[in-house]
Copies of this chain bind each other. A is one copy, B any other.
Amino acid sequence: MTGLDRKPLRLAIAGLGTVGAGVIRLLEENRALVEARAGRPITIAAVSARDRTKDRGVDLSGFAWCDDMAEMAKRDDVDVVVELVGGSDGPTLALARDTLAAGKGLVTANKAMIAHHGMELAGTAETNGAGLRFEAAVAGGIPVVKGLREGASANAIDRVYGILNGTCNYILTAMESSGADFGETLADAQRLGFAEADPAFDIDGVDAAHKLAILAALSFGAQIDFESVEIDGIRRVRAADIAQADALGYVVRLIGVADVEQSTAGPRMLQRVRPCLVAKDHPLAPIDGPTNAVVAEGNFSGRLLFQGAGAGDGPTASAVVADLIDLARGDAGAAFSVPTQQLVAMPKADSGARESRSYIRFTVADRPGVLAEITAAMRDAGVSIQSLIQEGEADGADGVLVAMVTHQGPVRNVRAAIEMLAGSDSLTDDPLIMPILRS
């Protein structure tokens, strides 16, 4: 270790929410081991946040305060900017661009920004010899970005999937154990801090989709394509669906799945986030509460699973500082494992052509002929029904529940059947389709 190498890695931290404060706390509490593993001290030169006076439980007096975080990219006393502000565009994106353009490292927990602008930022990083790292953007404290980029680097991966949103997993598993319905459970989760006051990003699947788009790019050597992710959230999952799934040997989880199919025109990528039925003996079935888990299937490694806390200040700070230690050690290799020019633009595969088994739940008027109407539509669309349950009792006040599981068949046939039934006044609510996760 030369004298030069022992120069500290000097940070500017933009954003002092719970994660920013967590990073400061970690660098203080674990100072000796961080320095030993990094091979040199990691110090904080400057910080920035909206409110300078707020008590964050950490001592900021030793750090320069930046009223405008934009200046962090220009400071001579800063080697790496740690971006913990959030927001995919605006001043956050400007800071990221300027930091990398200035040849400084950027470590971020910002999944939305990477999902939308990751290719551009990785390109800027390459051009300027700067390190770009975002372990904290996916699955909190789980080192899955490193696991895919480096740990599984010898493999062609053609499928990556997992439980990527702790709020949804908390809600679904709480519904599972309590039997309560979605609205009530969401309210509980908000009270307990497992869901935001505005939970839309989480429960509508957008947060999971951001993470999935990043994982897919890393796994497949593909360009990030957030726009093509098919997204369906968990708002419409009912207690009755979870009970039916249980009776059939499944649990319900919000699953993000990305895979690659080969076609004569080259590889196509399919990325989907939606509630799925997961067989009780699948490794993702026991994952409960706000835990995240990611499965990657490598052509030599076989199935790898990474599991841990998907959010929280401690786990996220752990991921941020692991990135910083890599940069301090001089490991600033390609952010997406290969140079951006080598990342392949993969068109979206046709999800309708995929074969799947599906769970379909209807809520229907309690009168004769309804079941005949539904099963006729299934027959006409070529959907083969494996099992069907009609619950005599009404689910809430909106009708009788009819749940079925189909045989393996093209997804487009199920969609066609639902389409046929769309105008029917026999249905008192839109049907809910949940695919059965292939093991």
Contacts and interface: CB of A to CB of B under 8 A. Distances in A.
Contacts of A338: 36-37
Contacts of A264: none
Contact of A314 (B1, B34, B302): B302
Interface string A332-374: 0100011100100000000000000000000000000000000
A317 B154 contact: yes
A301 interface: yes
A88 interface: no
Interface of A: 1, 22, 26, 29-30, 33-34, 36-37, 39, 135, 141-143, 146-147, 150-156, 221, 281, 283, 285-286, 298-309, 312, 314-315, 317-322, 324-326, 329, 331, 333, 337-339, 342
A312 to B, nearest CB: 7
Contacts of A154: 26, 30, 34, 317-322, 324-325
A315 B331 contact: no
17 contacts: A30-B299, A34-B153, A39-B333, A143-B147, A146-B146, A146-B151, A147-B151, A150-B150, A150-B322, A154-B318, A298-B318, A301-B315, A302-B312, A302-B314, A304-B307, A307-B307, A331-B333
Contact of A325 (B150, B281, B314): B150
A302 B154 CA distance: 28
A250 B153 CA distance: 37
Nearest to A27: B154
Interface of A, secondary structure class, is mixed
Contacts of A314: 299-302
A152 B36 contact: no
**Which of A34, A143, A151, A333 has the most CB atoms of chain B within a 10 A radius of its CB?**
A151
Contacts of A298: 141, 318
B151 A30 contact: no
Contacts of A285: 286
Given A146-B146, A154-B320, A303-B309, 8 more contacts: A135-B151, A143-B147, A146-B151, A154-B325, A155-B318, A300-B317, A302-B308, A306-B306
Give the oligomeric copy count: 2
Contacts of A147: 143, 146-147, 151, 306
A285 B308 CA distance: 16
A218 to B, nearest CB: 11
Contact of A143 (B151, B307, B320, B321): B151
A411 B1 CA distance: 45
Contact of A307 (B37, B135, B305, B326): B305
Contacts of A281: 286
A283 B283 CA distance: 10
Contacts of A337: 36-37
A125 to B, nearest CB: 14
Contacts of A34: 153-154
A19 to B, nearest CB: 11
A129 to B, nearest CB: 11
B304 A156 contact: no
A302 B309 contact: yes
